[in-house]
Chain A
Amino acid sequence: MTVPAEVREHCLQARGNARTDGLVPALTLLTRALSPKVAPRGPRGHAVLPKELLDEFAAMEAEDAGRDERHDDVPVPGLAVLRPGGEQGVAEAPDGPDAHAWGTGLAWLRLGMSERLREACIAYLAARQVEGTSLLMQQMVKGTLADVLIDHLEIEGVLEELTEGPDGDRVLERLQQQITRADRTLLRLLGAHGFTADGPGPTAHASELLADVYRGEDT
Chain B
Amino acid sequence: MISLPAPLVTTQEHVRRWAGDLRAHALELDGDPEAIRRHLDLPAVRFLAGHEVPPDWQRASDAAGAGPAHGLPTLERVLVSEELARGDAGMMLASPGASMCGALLGVLGSQEQRDWVYGRLAERPRWTCFALTEPERGSAIGEMTATLTPDGDGGYLLDGEKRYVGNAARADVGAVFARVAGTERLGVLAVLVDTADPGFRAEPLPTVGLRGAQLTHITLERVRVPAERVLGAHLPPTRRGMWSIVAVFNQLRPSVAAIALGIARPPHDYVAEHRRLLRGRERETYEELGHRIDAARLLTYRAALAVDRRPAAGHLASAAKARACELAEDVTLAALGLLGPGARLDHPLLEKLARDARGVEFMEGTRNIQKLNLFQGLHTGKVGRP
Contacts and interface: CB of A to CB of B under 8 A. Distances in A.
Nearest to B208: A201
Contacts of B341: 42-44, 46, 212-217
Contacts of B329: 184
Interface string A116-127: 000000000001
Contact of A212 (B164, B342, B362): B342
Contact of B208 (A46, A205, A215): A205
Nearest to A203: B208
A83 B345 contact: yes
Contacts of B336: 212
A40 B3 CA distance: 55
Contacts of A212: 336, 341-345
Interface stretch (A19-27, A53-61, A191-199): A191-199
A122 to B, nearest CB: 16
* Interface range for A: 35 or more
A141 interface: yes
A52 B355 CA distance: 26
B201 interface: no
B239 interface: no
B359 interface: yes
Interface in B121-143: 133, 136-138, 140, 142-143
A140 B358 contact: no
Contacts, number: 103
B142 A196 contact: no
B175 to A, nearest CB: 18
B366 A191 contact: yes
Given A83-B346, A213-B342, A213-B345, A184 B358 contact: yes
B164 A192 contact: yes
Given A43-B341, A83-B346, A213-B341, A191 B138 contact: yes
B372 interface: yes
A44 to B, nearest CB: 5
Contact of A42 (B163, B342, B361, B368): B342
B208 A44 contact: no
B340 interface: yes
A195 B342 contact: no
Contacts of A187: 358
B208 A188 contact: no
A60 to B, nearest CB: 23
B158 interface: no
Interface in A161-206: 177, 180, 184, 187-189, 191-192, 194-198, 201-202, 205
5 contacts: A83-B346, A131-B143, A192-B362, A195-B209, A209-B344
Q: What 6 pairs between A and B have smallest CB-CB spacing?
A: A197-B206, A46-B342, A192-B164, A201-B208, A212-B344, A44-B342
Interface of A: 42-46, 81, 83, 127-131, 140-141, 144, 177, 180, 184, 187-189, 191-192, 194-198, 201-202, 205, 208-209, 212-217
